[in-house]
Amino acid sequence: MTAFYRQSGSMMSDRKSLSSLADEFGTPLYVYNRGAIEHAWQEFETALQGHRHLICYAVKANSNLAILNILARLGSGFDIVSVGELRRVLAAGGQADRIVFSGVGKSAAEMAAGLEAGIRCFNVESDAELDRLAEVAAAHGVVAPVSLRINPDVDAQTHPYISTGLKENKFGIGMSHAMDSYRRGAEHASLAIKGIDCHIGSQLTRLSPYADAVALLIDMVDRLADEGIRLSHLDVGGGQGIAYSEDEASLDIGAWADCVIQGIGDRDLEIMVEPGRYVVGQAGVLLTRVEYLKNNEDRHFAVVDAAMNDLIRPALYSAWQAIEEVETLPRESQVYDVVGPICESADFLGKQRSLAIAQDDLLCVRSAGAYAAVMSSNYNTRARAAEVMVDGDDAHLVRARENIEDLFANEYLLP
């Protein structure tokens, strides 16, 4: 589904022009498309039909309440990594028994909150966490449902900051120790061993890393069954990639599902999956206005009102995202570095982009629905951008622009 398209030279989302949204809500502005979010989630639902499954949207990709509510209405589960995300999901109408709690550093208080809410499962990542969860569950007089996250040492061939399945990464329990961890968990009366989990990295567009990981996990499932530890689900994590440029291709979700199902074979295992970027990435854009055009000898800069505090992916990951004019006008094009007003050389949205623009024009940063607004900050005491959801003829404000005075309302002068 194409969430954003051109009509008579103007960029549109459904029946709303992006220019009209910028005029109404100001810039920088995040714009999301409801239909695109629903369509991407349904791709997983369709691909996994006929096999027991639970799609758990990875809240860290974009935790806006409106997005969570859209997915909750579809019957989605949720993958969380903090008590804050737990509270967001519940506030948005998500069901606790469809929540899995991931993350390497869960506190005792977070474990207690998950148990009190009645979540579906804890994805445990170390023996120390396993023991702590057993203690917390025993203290609350309940049995905690547990899946162990295994680090299969599979190279996802992605950016090192979003690779999570190698033994050098902090995530998961190593293959050589995993059997002992399962035995250890089975000995705790306050734990119920339910599944096996892995997440090998983010922005994966090839099937082979998934196939390799599933094969390794299935071998462990069989060995555990031989010891009397029978698992009920296989959580294959997330990481399904999208196309940020014309040279890239998104992961084929139908082929991905076939790969996982074939790997499981005739074993009675529910499939869990934790997509984030794939569901929301292409469903969002960032709108920004050109403040100045500046030349430094042979280098040309488009200085815009969005900055690395609004979109940190280019600075953090050297990420590339398409940048386009919102309105195509008969102007001569020039190659620009698109930069923000923050006092850092890393403050750029894109470098060496061919654009036909003038001062006050609008630019659109594509593929900005995931790991964008959710990673924004107040660096340089900048208010975070507003967020809008387009749904047909309507545009709903789903996060108001921050008020600058509120940014330091909880700070105090010395007496």
Check: CB of residue 198 under 8 Å from CB of residue 149.
yes
* Of 374, 248, 383, 238, residue with least CA distance to 321: 248
CA dist., res. 110 & res. 108, Å (int): 5
CA dist., res. 216 & res. 202, Å (int): 19
Cα dihedral 16, 20, 25, 28 sign: positive
Largest CA distance in the chain: 72
CA dist., res. 358 & res. 369, Å (int): 26
* Of 349, 410, 346, 341, residue with least CA distance to 380: 341
- Number of neighbours of residue 347 by Cβ within 10 angstroms: 20
> Is-catalytic flag, 343?
yes
Q: What is the DSSP string of 341-358?
A: SSSSTT-EEEEEEEE---
**Catalytic pick from 121, 259, 343, 364?**
343
DSSP 8-class letter at 39: H
- Tell me which residues are annotated as active site: 343
